[in-house]
C-alpha cells in the first residue's frame, strides 16, 4: 500500500489505539481477596509432599546447600468448622537449621485461623482472623504472646504461598495481586504474580507435564529478588521453583510420590 500523509495518520492512530489496548490488557491485574472466595479450594489435594531444596552461590563452584522440605495437607474440623491443616518441616545436616510450621485455614476461602512456628529453642504462635492477628496466649513458651496487629483487610498466610498458587485460576496472560502476610514481620502487602507462559517439564519417567510459569519480583532488605514457579495445568500442583536473591540462586523441586516416608521412623 502506498503511504500518504492521510493514511499514515490513520495508521498511526490505529497503531496507537492497539498499543494502548495492549498495555491495558497487560496491566490488568486480578486482585485476590479473602472475602471474594476466588481461590479454588476444591483443587487443593490432601497428603504428604516432599521437596528437595538447594541453594547455589555462583562463586562457590564446589558447594551446594541442601534441605529436605515436607508439607502435609489435611482436611479436619476445628471447633465445628471445616479447615485445612498444613504441617511443614525443614530438615538439613545441621539440627540448628530445623524448623517446623503448623497452619490452620478455613476450607471455604483459605482465610487463616492459626499459625505457629517452632525452631530449636523458640515458639511463635498466633491466632489469626480477618480483622487482626494476636499472639496465642494459651501456647506455652510463646515468645510472641503479646504480639498484636490490626488488619486493614483480611490477608493470606505467606508461609502457604505454594498452596495458594495451586488454587489460583491460572491462565495465559493473567496476573494476580495477593495480600500476603508473614506473621510478625513486615505489615501485609499486595504482591503481584504474573503468568509469563507455559513450559513442559519432564518427570522421572520422562513424561511431559504442561505447566504454567508464575513469576514475581520485588525488593527485600538484602536487595532485589525474582521468583518463578511451575504449576501443572491439569493437576494444579507446584512442581518446581527457581529464585535469585542477594547473589544466591535457590531451587525447589517436588519429589515423586514414591520418595521414602521417613517421618514415621523418627523415635519420639
pLDDT tier at 22, thresholds 50, 70, 90: very low
Contact 193, 187 (CB under 8 A): no
With residue 100 as reference, give the H or E element that holds it: strand 99-106
Q: Does residue 10 have a pLDDT over 50?
A: no
Rounded to an integer, what distance in angstroms lies between the CA atom of residue 254 and that of residue 26? 31
List of long-range contacts for 261-265, beta carbons under 8 Å, 24+ apart: 261/48, 263/48, 263/70, 263/89
Question: What gap in Å lies between CA 266 and CA 268, rounded to an integer?
Answer: 6
Q: What is the pTM of this model?
A: 0.87
d(CA 244, CA 218): 11
DSSP-assigned letter for residue 158: G
What pLDDT shows up at residue 257? 78
pLDDT category, 192, cuts 50, 70, 90?
very high
Asked if residue 33 lies in contact with residue 8, where contact means CB atoms within 8 angstroms, the answer is no
Of 141, 83, 150, 153, nearest in space to 112 by CA: 83
Domain map of the chain by residue range? 29-263
Sequence-distant (6+) residues with CB within 8 A of 209 are 200, 201, 202, 203, 232, 234, 239
Within 8 A by CB and 6+ apart from 43, the residues are 166, 167, 236
Of the listed ranges 93-97, 109-113, 157-161, 198-202, the least confidently predicted one is 93-97
Phi, psi of 8 (to 5 degrees): -65, -40
Considering only the C-alpha atoms of the chain, give the largest distance between any 2 of them, rounded to a whole number of Å.
84
Q: Which stretch of 7-11, 252-256, 264-268 has the lowest confidence by average pLDDT?
A: 7-11
Say whether pLDDT at 142 is over 60.
yes
How far is it, in rounded angstroms, from Cα 129 to Cα 154?
Answer: 7
Tell me the C-alpha distance between 118 and 120, whole Å. Answer: 7
Retrieve residue 197's grid coordinates. Answer: 507462559
The whole-number pLDDT of residue 222 equals 75
Provide the 3-class DSSP secondary structure of residue 187: coil
pLDDT computed for residue 68 by the predictor? 96
Amino acid at each position: 500500500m502506498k503511504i500518504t500523509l492521510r493514511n499514515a495518520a490513520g495508521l498511526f492512530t490505529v497503531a496507537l489505539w492497539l498499543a494502548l489496548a495492549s498495555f491495558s490488557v497487560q496491566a490488568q491485574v486480578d486482585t485476590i481477596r479473602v472475602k471474594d472466595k476466588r481461590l479454588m479450594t476444591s483443587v487443593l489435594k490432601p497428603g504428604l509432599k516432599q521437596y528437595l531444596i538447594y541453594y547455589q552461590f555462583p562463586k562457590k563452584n564446589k558447594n551446594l546447600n541442601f534441605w529436605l522440605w515436607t508439607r502435609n495437607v489435611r482436611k479436619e474440623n476445628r471447633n465445628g468448622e471445616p479447615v485445612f491443616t498444613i504441617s511443614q518441616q525443614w530438615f538439613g545436616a545441621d539440627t540448628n537449621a530445623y524448623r517446623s510450621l503448623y497452619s490452620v485455614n478455613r476450607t471455604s476461602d483459605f482465610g487463616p485461623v492459626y499459625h505457629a512456628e517452632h525452631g530449636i529453642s523458640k515458639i511463635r504462635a498466633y491466632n489469626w482472623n480477618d480483622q487482626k492477628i494476636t499472639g496465642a496466649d494459651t501456647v506455652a513458651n510463646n515468645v510472641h504472646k503479646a504480639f498484636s496487629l490490626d488488619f486493614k483487610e483480611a490477608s493470606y498466610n505467606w508461609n502457604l504461598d505454594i498452596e495458594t498458587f495451586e488454587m489460583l485460576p491460572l491462565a495465559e496472560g493473567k496476573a494476580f495481586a495477593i495480600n500476603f502476610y508473614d506473621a510478625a514481620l513486615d505489615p501485609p502487602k499486595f504482591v503481584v504474580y504474573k503468568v509469563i507462559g507455559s513450559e513442559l517439564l519432564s518427570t522421572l519417567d520422562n513424561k511431559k507435564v504442561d505447566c504454567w510459569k508464575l513469576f514475581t519480583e520485588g525488593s527485600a532488605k538484602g536487595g532485589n529478588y525474582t521468583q518463578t514457579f511451575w504449576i501443572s495445568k491439569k493437576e494444579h500442583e507446584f512442581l518446581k521453583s527457581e529464585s535469585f536473591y542477594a547473589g544466591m540462586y535457590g531451587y525447589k523441586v517436588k519429589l515423586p510420590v514414591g520418595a521414602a516416608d521417613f517421618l514415621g521412623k523418627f523415635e519420639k
